[in-house]
Amino acid sequence: MIDAAATDNLAVSAIADADIPAVVALWERCELTRPWNEPQADIARARGKSNSDILVGRSGNTIAATVMVGHDGHRGWVYYVAVDPDQYKKGYGRAIMTAAENWLRERGIEKLQLLVRADNTRVQAFYETLDYEEQERVIFAKWLDGRPMTP
Ligand SMILES: CC(C)(COP(=O)(O)OP(=O)(O)OC[C@H]1O[C@@H](n2cnc3c(N)ncnc32)[C@H](O)[C@@H]1OP(=O)(O)O)[C@@H](O)C(=O)NCCC(=O)NCCS
């Protein structure tokens, strides 16, 4: 269960079927979708699994924040961290990240890592405020179907 007190006035729960269109619309509005990641397929793969889920934060009846959270048995990861642009700077980003951290803690995961595109400088300030620290690492990636690397 997610600690409701830690998420302030944002009611956080696992994504439900009826939430999917609004969640995809929010991700598109936040420019988090990429042509090579079909959001509905990403949701279907991650939701409701023992090691991953998509959490949605509601303000009233409106979905105001999302996070895809998961772990690989060693480290936790988040993707699709998004807040409705009309609701920035109300603490919802912090609240949905707290919910993701608690989700991982409940599963015994001790460290959360996340990737930020180098050109997304404003979000780096957000994570620094939440006590995340930049780590000196180089990321290697490969598409397993053999397609050329995407940006
Ligand atoms: C990044 C994002 C999730 C922040 O959401 P938010 O609800 O506005 O953040 P909060 O109100 O919870 O802010 C938490 C803290 O971060 C700080 N912060 C938030 N956005 C910031 C910014 N752009 N620059 C500097 N600090 C910022 C706030 O001032 C606040 O600090 P405080 O608690 O000391 O007052 C939101 O801007 C967003 O959805 N951006 C687009 C999607 C995106 O880039 N996602 C990340 C992909 S890696």
Whether 117 is in the pocket of ligand 1, judged by its Cβ within 6 Å, is no
Mean pLDDT in order along the chain per 10 residues (151 residues): 56 97 97 92 97 97 97 97 97 97 98 94 95 96 96 88
Rounded CA separation 134/151 (Å): 21
Amino acid 8: pLDDT:
57
Whether 103 is in the pocket of ligand 1, judged by its Cβ within 6 Å, is no
Q: What is the 3-state secondary structure (H, E, C) of 73-127?
A: CCCEEEEEEEECHHHCCCCHHHHHHHHHHHHHHCCCCCCEECCCCCCCHHHHHHH
Q: Ligand 1 centre from 51 Cα, in Å?
A: 26
Task: Give the number of C-alpha atoms closer than 13 A to the C-alpha of residue 78, restricted to the C-beta side.
Answer: 23
**Residue 140 in domain:** no
Rounded CA separation 72/120 (Å): 25
H or E, element range at 62: strand 62-71
**Residue 130 in domain:** no
Rounded CA separation 27/66 (Å): 9
Range of the domain at 70: 4-114
**Residue 144 in domain:** no
Which pTM was predicted? 0.93
Whether 120 is in the pocket of ligand 1, judged by its Cβ within 6 Å, is yes
**Residue 85 in domain:** yes
Amino acid 116: pLDDT:
95
Amino acid 5: pLDDT:
41
**Residue 146 in domain:** no
Query: Which domain CATH number covers 102?
Result: 3.40.630.30
Q: Ligand 1 atom closest to Cα of 80?
A: 47
Q: Ligand 1 centre from 88 Cα, in Å?
A: 7
Rounded CA separation 71/83 (Å): 22
**Residue 150 in domain:** no
**Residue 77 in domain:** yes
Number of compact structural domains in the chain: 1
User: CA of 85: how far to CAs of 5, 23, 28, 70, 80, in Å?
Assistant: 24, 13, 11, 24, 14
